[in-house]
Amino acid sequence: MTLFQLLMLGASAFFAYKIYEHIQTLKDPLDGGDENGEQNNAPFDPTTLIEEADSAMQRGDLQKALAIYTEADLKAEKDAETLFKMGYVLAQQNRDDEALERYKEALELDPDNTYIHQAMASLYRKMGEYASARNHLNASLLLDEKNPITFYNYGNLLVDMKHPDEAKEMYKRALEIDGDFQEAKEELAKLEGEK
């Protein structure tokens, strides 16, 4: 599994969790409504829009998801999670510069979010801006030094930077945290086989 696939998996899990979280707060239609028994539906409020965008994302309809996230962003106060999701959709569409701008906006609102740092590192790596990618991976490690994916991603970056010995150390750190991390095992084996 590549870095980008791992990032997509993490973001998908994050979206699924947020949808699950929201579903848990929904009321039974028979219990809700006003005193006349009518439901109070606000189809254009930001929360409803984000839910609809999340659903579109789960279905793989990236254009629709982006349009709805954008509308939600326009109707509400700036929100790091919405901006992150917009960045993610843009990155999936290879609109990297736009994705990076959304991630930067999200990071300003939530500087301690490891997901945002990881996403930015991934984009910077893809763009060949290794120093910036490294800065975001370092920031992610400062926030959570027990995340094996950060070490794995760092190892991949170091491979791209032609620092195989440092990359091996990162893969080993990932495996110390999660001994079943198959991708880290495979990448480490490749490097050790190149001796």
Position 8 confidence tier, pLDDT thresholds 50, 70, 90: low
Give me the domains of the chain, ranges plus CATH numbers.
Answer: 1-22+44-110 (1.25.40.10), 112-181 (1.25.40.10)
- State the Cα–Cα distance between residues 163 and 171, nearest whole angstrom: 12
53-57, 113-117, 183-187: segment of lowest average pLDDT: 53-57
Contact, 27 vs 142, CB < 8 A? no
Would you say the pTM of this structure is higher than 0.85?
no
- What are the structure tokens assigned to 146, written together? 């027990």
Crossing angle of helices 80-92 and 96-109, in 10° steps, is: 160
> How confident is the model over 35-47, as pLDDT tens digits?
443 344 445 677 8
